[in-house]
Amino acid sequence: NAGVTQTPKFQVLKTGQSMTLQCAQDMNHEYMSWYRQDPGMGLRLIHYSVGAGITDQGEVPNGYNVSRSTTEDFPLRLLSAAPSQTSVYFCASRTGTGLNTGELFFGEGSRLTVL
Amino acid sequence: AQRVTQPEKLLSVFKGAPVELKCNYSYSGSPELFWYVQYSRQRLQLLLRHISRESIKGFTADLNKGETSFHLKKPFAQEEDSARYYCAPTNPDRGFKTIFGAGTRLFVKA
């Protein structure tokens, strides 16, 4: 059971380039989300999804796009990378979107550097 | 607005000493409350959740609705407890999104 898989683990971009961080989960979780982790800022929610075809903004959505065409996949797109997007990105999923929601399961993280 | 406050960025204690990691939240309604832990070179993982009322690795967390706090406690810290800890309320609105605090880095000295 792979759990939550993120690719790539490391990426270096130049300002203005675009890229997609991939996230896949094999646990049939309804809820998926993306966070960025920065020193002193903790984890900040970028976007989240409560099911296929449904996405919503988190705390820091600007500069990022998401889509959820399947239950398993939740890619995060940077359309025009900026140095401020240098961070470690985590994908997380869980079962349930209502009361008594389950725990979040995290990917290993993707370290992105924008020059 | 939803807000989670973990006032200590770094907490350093000696092995065997009690430890308390503070968490205060500002939410409407009654959020479900979690603590997550990130050990060095490992994925973030659940430490405990309020609804289960479990004690995990000797840690407990008490919900104080009046103070809107969910502090994490352990009576005798161990070196292997050194990690980063995140308080994470889950908001009972559309989607039940989870917002994390800034985290507290716990360092347990021998």
- Other C-beta atoms closer than 10 Å to the C-beta of B94 total 10
What is the arithmetic mean of pLDDT over B81-102? 84
- Picking from A23-27, A57-61, B35-39, B94-98, which range would have the lowest pLDDT averaged per residue? B94-98
Q: Is the pLDDT of residue B79 over 80?
A: yes
From chain A, the residues in CB contact with B96 under 8 A are 31, 50, 96-98, 101
What is the arithmetic mean of pLDDT over A68-89? 96
Give the HSE-up count for residue A40: Cα atoms under 13 Å, Cβ half-sphere.
0
| Residue B22 to residue B26: CA distance in whole angstroms | 14
What is the arithmetic mean of pLDDT over B33-51? 90
Q: Helix, strand, or coil here: B17?
A: coil
| Residue B59 to residue A80: CA distance in whole angstroms | 43
The tens digit of pLDDT for each residue in A48-64 reads 998 999 999 999 999 99
The pLDDT, as a whole number, for residue A98 is 63
| Residue A91 to residue A102: CA distance in whole angstroms | 16
Label residue B95 by pLDDT band (50, 70, 90). Answer: low
| Residue B8 to residue B103: CA distance in whole angstroms | 8
Task: Give the distance from residue A50's alpha carbon to the nearest chain B alpha carbon, in angstroms.
Answer: 6
The pair of structure tokens assigned to A53 is 């075809």
* Closest listed residue to residue A34, CA positions, set A15, A18, A19, A21: A21
**Nearest-CA residue of chain B relative to A99?**
B92
Label residue A15 by pLDDT band (50, 70, 90). Answer: very high
